[in-house]
């Protein structure tokens, strides 16, 4: 009888130890889960906070870029070189802030590139484009080389640059004559729409920036609500937001295209 009672006591003691051990394991697991959730929450909070700061900085950079662009009409000929340098500095800040591989980023950068190009082209037209049909062959050659250099700078981001293969530039240089007049006409035709381009390219940049910022803000809200910074599909959401105003983008783009006659 005593041995039976002792056995029961041992079983109870063993069960108590087992329950205590299981409770310990559960508490450790709970603490671990709490730690991981807290860590993930802190990481998400940090990332979301930096996204908001990034968005504010983007707004500031674009605003400063537009402030520089808007000086165009009031710049004297003597200050154009400094003006172009200032534009390039603002553009470089924008490029460094954006991701050159992202589709949303490319939409902004391409329009900025196109706007910068037409501004520079408009500035150099009196000194370079008029020399394309000069009787002085050296002036004509230098003019073509200058235009080739200009187009090479802006073709990198496909910003509406006049895309001419290197072989075609060589042909233009080797055949100074009627070809240079044709090239001059091409540029003059394009510059007929410079006022419309200067007016509407900034609008396109603004629209693309607004869609970008709207999508980023939606990502921030998602991250805060879900405590997860990995599951948000930015490209899908961005493209959906872009579709909502695609008609406006298309209308503006067509207006710009119709304002110039660029063929080669």
Closest by Cα among 196, 57, 186 to 114: 196
Asked if residues 223 and 232 have their Cβ atoms less than 8 Å apart, the reply is yes
Helix (H, G, I), strand (E, B) or coil at 75: coil
- What residue spans define the domains of the chain? 57-258
Which of 115, 89, 123 lies closest to 199, judged by CA?
Answer: 115
Q: Which residue has tokens 């629209």?
A: 207
The pLDDT tens digits of the residues spanning 18-50 come to 666 666 677 666 666 665 555 555 556 767 788
Residue with tokens 């009672």: 5
> H-helix or E-strand containing 217?
helix 194-226
Q: What is the DSSP letter of 192?
A: T
Backbone angles phi, psi at 164, to 5 degrees: -130, 125
User: Tokens standing for 29?
Assistant: 């697991």
From CA 241, how far away is CA 202, in angstroms rounded?
19
| pTM across the whole model | 0.74
Structure tokens at 111: 């329009």
Centre a 10 Å sphere on the Cβ of residue 239 and count the other Cβ atoms it contains.
15
**Chain centroid, CA 53 distance in Å:** 16
Per-residue pLDDT of the chain (264 residues; tens, 9 = 90+): 545 445 545 555 555 666 666 666 776 666 666 655 555 555 567 677 888 899 999 999 999 999 999 888 767 777 888 899 999 999 999 999 999 889 999 999 989 988 998 888 888 887 777 777 777 777 777 887 888 777 777 765 554 545 555 665 665 666 555 555 567 777 777 777 788 888 889 999 999 999 999 999 998 888 888 777 678 899 999 999 999 999 999 998 888 777 654 434
Extract the tokens encoding 5.
């009672």
Tokens representing 177 are 């004559």
């Amino acid at each position: 009888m005593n041995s039976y009672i002792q056995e029961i006591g041992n079983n109870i003691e063993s069960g108590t130890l087992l329950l205590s051990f299981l409770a310990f394991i559960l508490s450790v697991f709970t603490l671990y889960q709490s730690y991981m959730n807290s860590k993930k929450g802190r990481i998400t909070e940090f990332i979301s906070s930096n996204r908001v700061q990034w968005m504010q900085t983007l707004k500031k950079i674009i605003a400063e870029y537009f402030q520089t662009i808007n000086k165009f009409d009031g710049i004297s000929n003597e200050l154009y070189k400094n003006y172009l340098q200032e534009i390039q500095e603002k553009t470089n800040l924008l490029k460094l802030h954006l991701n050159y591989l992202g589709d949303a980023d490319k939409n902004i950068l391409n329009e900025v590139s196109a706007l910068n190009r037409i501004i520079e082209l408009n500035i150099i037209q009196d000194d370079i484009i008029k020399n394309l049909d000069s009787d002085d062959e050296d002036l004509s050659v230098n003019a073509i080389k200058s235009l080739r250099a200009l187009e090479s700078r802006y073709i990198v981001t496909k910003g509406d640059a006049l895309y001419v293969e290197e072989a075609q530039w060589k042909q233009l240089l080797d055949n100074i004559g009627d070809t240079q007049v044709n090239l001059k006409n091409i540029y003059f035709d394009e510059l007929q729409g410079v006022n419309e381009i200067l007016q509407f390219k900034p609008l396109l940049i603004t629209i693309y920036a607004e869609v970008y910022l709207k999508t980023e803000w939606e990502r921030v809200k998602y991250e805060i609500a879900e405590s997860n910074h990995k599951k948000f599909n930015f490209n899908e959401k961005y493209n959906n937001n872009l579709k909502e105003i695609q008609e406006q983008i298309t209308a503006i783009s067509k207006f710009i295209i119709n304002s110039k006659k660029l063929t080669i």
